[in-house]
Amino acid sequence: MGVGQSLGLPPGSGPHQVGCTDVMADHTREGSFFRLYYPCKPEEGVEEQPLWIPKSEYVVGLADYMSLNKRWCVPLLNLVFGSFRVPVSWNAPLIPGRRFPLIIFSHGLGAFRTLYSAVCLAMASHGFLVAAVEHRDQSACATYHYQKGPPESPHGTLHEEWVYYRRLEQGEKEFKLRNCQVHQRVEECVRALDLLSDINSGKSIPDTLQCRFDMASLKDCMDLQQVGVMGHSFGGATSLVALVKDTRFSGTVHKNHTDFAFLTGALLSRFIETRGRLEAEKALEITTRAALAFLHRHLDLEADFDRWDALVEGKGDDDVIPNAPSCLSSL
């Protein structure tokens, strides 16, 4: 972030305005939960931009994941990050009459579905549908589902049930825990793809969150022959395993790649190490272009994203390590 620039997430770099909505199909922990970013119609009267941190429980989870004193750090994190909004049109109508390639995005350890909004909306602005899954394997700093109330409660009453990050217990082998988690994560990515395939075919799904987005507008809008899976850090490992487990996936792309890089000033970033030496905008530009070129190569897209092919090989930019496609392989 350059000197004098205000903090905030950048808008998408592509030609499309971006909309987003949250999808929770089936209220249980086994259901699918993701944020969907998509190219939208520019219209007046759409709902305001969504908060970057949707609920205060995520701040509690972040403080706990970063081993910070929750008593003073939760109010501080709320103060610093609580007012940031994602530069998208909430529940805006999808661009009609077109089919878009689909990306399933898997977040890293200690993250949640909105923490990579900059990357996801950048991809959507270039003509992709991006489903950012929120994992419920206890690798997210916090997530939630719904439980039915007790028998005496009003019929159909649901209440939030929160699931927080699980640390390794003393003497526990990390591989055993992470291996179990990564396989659950892959199942959640596959479940999201299955759900989106159903939506694409015109099936109606339960709308637990009642976000007022017209799900029927997604019918026949996805090119399911062009499906990629992307992830960051532990999400990168999830993407690789997903490629092995489900042949419908074709492709895959550390805190400098999260939204924290855009939302923390120099002083705070030194305290919680959210930014590297590379400018956040430059890192996002390289990541987005390399990912687009990679997806172009493997999804046979008609767009001209191949003009950035050199980045996939770690070439063509002074800020890319030669012969090391780090933007796509940082696991």
DSSP 3-state helix, strand, coil percentages of the chain (rounded to 5)? 35, 20, 45
Question: At residue 142, what are phi and psi to the nearest 5 degrees?
Answer: -165, 145
Residue-level pLDDT, tens digit, the chain, 331 residues:
544 457 899 998 899 999 999 999 989 999 999 999 999 988 766 668 999 999 999 999 999 999 999 999 999 999 999 999 999 999 999 999 999 999 999 999 999 999 999 999 999 999 999 999 999 999 999 999 999 877 666 656 888 999 999 999 999 999 999 999 999 999 999 999 999 999 999 999 988 998 889 999 999 999 998 888 888 889 888 987 888 889 888 674 444 456 666 676 554 555 555 544 446 666 667 667 777 777 777 677 766 666 646 545 555 554 444 444 433 333 2
Burial code (b: 16+ CB inside 10 Å, e: under 16) for 220-249 equals ebbbeebbbbbbbbbbbbbbbbbbeebebb
Please give the domain boundaries of the chain with CATH numbers for all domains. Answer: 17-329 (3.40.50.1820)
Q: How many CA atoms lie within 13 A of 152 on its CB side?
A: 0
DSSP 41: -
Please tell me whether residue 283 adopts helix, strand or coil conformation: helix
pLDDT at residue 110 in the model: 96
Q: What is the pTM of this model?
A: 0.79
pLDDT at residue 240 in the model: 79
Amino acid at 308: W
pLDDT at residue 331 in the model: 29
Distances (CA, A) of 72 to 47, 59, 83, 110: 33, 12, 18, 20
pLDDT at residue 325 in the model: 40
Task: List pLDDT tens digits, range 162-217.
Answer: 999 999 999 999 999 999 999 999 999 999 999 999 999 999 998 899 888 999 99
